[in-house]
C-alpha cells in the first residue's frame, strides 16, 4: 500500500513540496494511518510530526446527517499544540473522508500551529 501511495504522490503537481507529515487520529484504523504517515515521511525524507491530539474525547457523531451537525461533531475536537509544526507545507494523512469536515478542522489546527499549507491525503472517499 505504501508503494501505491508513493506513486500517487509522485504524480501530484507540487507547487511546493511539503516539509512534514502529520496524521489524523483514526478511531477505526489507528495503526494503518500511523504506519502509512510514518512510511510516507520516511520515503519522502520528511519530518513525521505525529498525530493530532483528540480533544474532549475526539470527534462525536456518526457518518451521515447534514453538514452543520457533521461540523459540530469535529469542531474544536483536535489539537496540534503538542506537535512541532514547521512553517512549511504539511501532508495530512487519514484513512477515509466522508464529509471532509474532519480534514478541514484538522488542517485548521495545523495552520494555526504554524503550517503554511496543509495537503490532505486519504486512502478512500466515502459518500
As beta bridge partners, residue 93 has 23, 121
**Residue written as grid cell 486512502:** 123
Among the ranges given (8-22, 60-74, 94-108, 113-127), the one the predictor scored with the smallest mean pLDDT: 60-74
Indicate if the pLDDT at residue 95 is higher than 90: no
Q: Which three cell numbers stand for residue 109?
A: 489546527
Minimal CA–CA distance to 120: which of 85, 84, 90, 98? Answer: 90
Cα 105 from chain centroid (whole Å) = 10
- Report the chain's mean pLDDT, rounded to a whole number: 86
Contact 21, 2 (CB under 8 A): no
pLDDT score recorded for residue 30:
78
> pLDDT, tens digit, for every residue of 29-83?
879 999 999 999 999 999 999 999 987 666 666 666 667 767 656 667 788 999 9
- Alpha-carbon distance of 9 to 16, in angstroms, equals 13
Q: Identify the structural domains of the chain with CATH numbers, from first to last.
A: 18-125 (3.40.50.2020)
Amino acid at each position: 500500500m505504501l508503494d501505491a501511495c508513493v506513486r500517487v504522490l509522485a504524480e501530484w503537481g507540487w507547487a511546493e513540496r511539503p516539509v512534514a507529515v502529520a496524521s489524523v487520529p483514526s478511531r477505526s484504523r489507528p495503526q494503518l494511518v500511523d504506519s502509512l504517515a510514518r512510511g510516507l515521511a520516511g520515503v519522502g525524507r520528511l519530518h513525521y510530526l505525529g498525530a493530532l491530539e483528540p480533544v474532549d474525547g475526539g470527534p462525536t457523531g456518526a457518518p451521515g446527517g447534514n453538514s452543520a451537525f457533521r461540523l459540530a461533531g469535529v469542531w474544536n475536537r483536535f489539537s496540534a499544540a503538542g506537535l512541532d509544526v514547521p512553517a512549511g507545507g504539511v501532508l495530512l494523512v487519514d484513512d477515509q473522508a466522508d464529509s471532509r469536515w474532519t480534514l478541514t478542522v484538522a488542517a485548521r489546527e495545523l495552520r494555526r500551529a504554524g503550517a503554511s499549507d496543509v495537503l490532505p491525503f486519504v486512502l478512500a472517499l466515502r459518500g
